[in-house]
Each structure stands twice: as C-alpha cells, then as structure tokens.
Amino acid sequence: MQSRGFSCRRLYGSAVAYSGLAALQRARQRHRIVILAYHDIDAPTFKRHLEFLARTYNIVSLTEAVAAIGHGEALPERALVLTFDDGFRSFYTTVYPSLRQFQAPATVFLITGYVGSDDIPWFGWIDLASRKRADIADVLPNFLRGVEWLSLRRSLMAYLKTVPDEERRSLTEKITLRIEASDEEKDRYRLLTWNQVREMERSGLVSFGGHTRTHPILSRVGLDTARQEIADCAADLEREIGPAPRHFAYPNGGPADFNEQVKGMVQEAGFASAVTSIRGTNGPGDDLFALRRITVDGTLSVGEVAAKASGLWFQLGQGGMYM
C-alpha cells in the first residue's frame, strides 16, 4: 500500500520511466543484484512486466545470484531475480506461461502445508472476511471494534502479524467460523498442487523454495515451533520434489519478523539462502540469510516497475513497505 493516490502514482511512475532517469539509475546500479518479490498477479499485467524486465535486465536464477553474492562467482551486469511468495495456484496459469515464453527463471516460495490442499492459509481467510464484509466485530479486540472494513483489513492484518502466534491462531479461527465462502471464493487463495510443482520444476525454469509449513511470523512463535515449521517445510520439499539447493523466504519478511536464531534454524535445515522483504539490492559479501528484495505487484504499471526496480522510486521519496 502506498501513501499517495493511485492515479498520481501511475503518472509519476511513467514520467520517471520515460524521462530516462530510471535508465540512468539502472546504469549506476548495474553491479547490484535486484531481487523482485511478487505474490499473485494477473496474466496480462505480468506479461507486460516481464516484457520490460526481460529486455532491460539479465534475469538470472536465485541460485546463480546466491553463488555470486556468497561465493564471488561472476554474474552479468544488471542481474535481476524473480521470486513469488506463497505459491498460489493461479501462478500456473498466470505467470508460468510468460516465464516459458521469455525463458525467464523464477523461484516460488511454498507454504508447504497448503500445497494441493482445499484449505487456504490464514491470511486468505482474513482477506475473504474483508471482501465479504463479514460481521466479526464481537470477536475483535476492543480497539478494532467499530472500525470500517476499509481500514479494518489493514489494521487487523497488522495486529495479527505482531501478536504472539497463539493469539493470531485463536482469533483467525474465530473469524474463519464466521465466513461462509464458496469453493470459487476460496479458490484464489489455494496453492499449487505437488503435480504442478513437479511439472514446473522439471521445466528447469521454476525452482521451489520454502516459506514454512503454515506461514506463522517466525519471531512470534516459540523457538521449538519455529524450528519445526522450518524443518517440516524442508522435509516436505525434499520428499515431494527431491534434494536441490533450495532457498527460503521468511513469512512477511520485515526486520521484526525474523531474528538471528531463526536465521540459524533456516541454515540448519539445509537452505542455501533466505530472502526478506527488507527493501534494497544485493552485492558480494552480503548476508545470504537476509537478502533484500523489492516488492512489486499487479497494481503497478510498467513505468512504476521500472522506477521501483531501479531504486529511483524510493530515492525520490515514494513510500513502499513490505507485505
């Protein structure tokens, strides 16, 4: 979510892209490695983004980027990595066809407990509650009662991400019981199936990484739960798609959402690197278990993607936050 109006942002992004400032900024930053973080996106928008990214950057796999950052291996200038969090089922029809068309590699971080399941992750239920304007006031903490859904979704999500995990689970459960959702309504939050995962991994274009088993905020659960979530996720990946250098993404991924202990657990579980949602680019010698990313989504025009990926967007004071 940005602080400024949508149309204002759009105009701004295009102006930046066409003024050549973004190109200048890209040239300055050509030795830095850009990792983009997507969640879900529709097919035509992603195709437009990828057309631009493929002709402007050298799209490399996360494994290649990690070899350059961690072990000094050579990478082309203007290297960019595509990553997708959560592993929504729509990825197979909206993103994968464009990746094949442009032969662009990408990494998808799976919440392994929901792969192939009809059930949906907890944040999907909150989103559904918001879309359906569900009547949940009486289960909410006092300070959120009476807040209109327009701002309630954001406040509730922020609240659930910062409370101890038990509270998050108990409140989400109460909210879930209040929602009557059809199969179609739940479908947008469902994750890929293991067969789709295997098929895409065999293509050599898409690699899969871990994003825990149920998507708790790892700094809000006890150490044993955190270790279990990470280790079970690694075991699921290995059992279903086999061993490989795999990477990890911290749920939510902000500075307060993981810590040194969690980083150690990810390493112990055998992951080769971990990405955050902390904004920035990467270079040789950077911490492989706290890689920086730039969040992009389907509401952005190509001009805005250009401005964000180049870093100019932030330099000129545009907002931006992780999700």
* Binding pattern for the stretch 63-102 against Zn ion, x by CB under 5 A and - elsewhere: ----------------------xx----------------
Which amino acid type is present at position 202? R
| Shortest Å, Cβ 206 to Zn ion | 17
Within its chain, how far is the Cα of 60 from the centroid?
Answer: 17
**Nearest distance, CB of residue 191 and Zn ion, angstroms:** 11
* Residue 132, CA distances (Å) to 63, 126, 251, 307 in order: 41, 10, 25, 34
* Axis crossing angle, helix 260-268 with helix 223-241, rounded to the nearest 10: 30
Our CB check for Zn ion shows the closer of 70 and 298 to be 298
Neighbour tally for 20: CB within 10 Å? 9
- C-alpha 77/C-alpha 56 separation (Å) is 11
CB 36 within 8 A of CB 249: no
The least CB distance from residue 87 to Zn ion, in Å, is 9
Q: Quick one: 137 or 158, whose CB is closer to Zn ion?
A: 158
Binding mask 138-167 for Zn ion (x = CB under 5 A): ------------------------------
Looking at the Cβ atoms of 171 and 275, the one nearer to Zn ion is 275
- The C-alpha atoms of residue 132 and residue 154 are separated, in whole angstroms, by 15
Tokens of 47: 């195709």
- Tokens 């204002």 map to which residue? 8
Helix 149-162 and helix 122-131: axis angle, to 10°?
160
Cβ-based neighbour number of residue 196 at 10 Å: 19
Is residue 304 close enough to count as binding Zn ion by CB under 5 A?
Answer: no
Q: Please, which residue, 86 or 236, has the CB nearer to Zn ion?
A: 86
Task: Report angle CA 113, 114, 119 to the nearest 5 degrees.
Answer: 130
Instruction: Decide: residue 39, CB within 10 A, 0-12 exposed, 13-18 middle, 19+ buried.
Output: middle
* Binding footprint of Zn ion, residue count (CB under 5 A): 2
In the complex, minimum distance from the CB of residue 188 to Zn ion, in angstroms, rounded to a whole number: 15
Work out how close the CB of 277 gets to Zn ion at its nearest, in angstroms, rounded to a whole number: 9
- Residue among 64 and 85 whose Cβ is closer to Zn ion: 85
Residue nearest to Zn ion (CB): 85
Q: How far is the CB of 120 from Zn ion (least distance, A)?
A: 13
Give the nearest distance from C-beta 223 to Zn ion in angstroms: 21
CB nearer to Zn ion: give 12 or 84: 84
Based on CB atoms, which residue is closest to Zn ion, 56 or 207?
207
The structure tokens 């469902």 sit at 190
- Interface contacts to Zn ion, rule CB under 5 A: 85-86
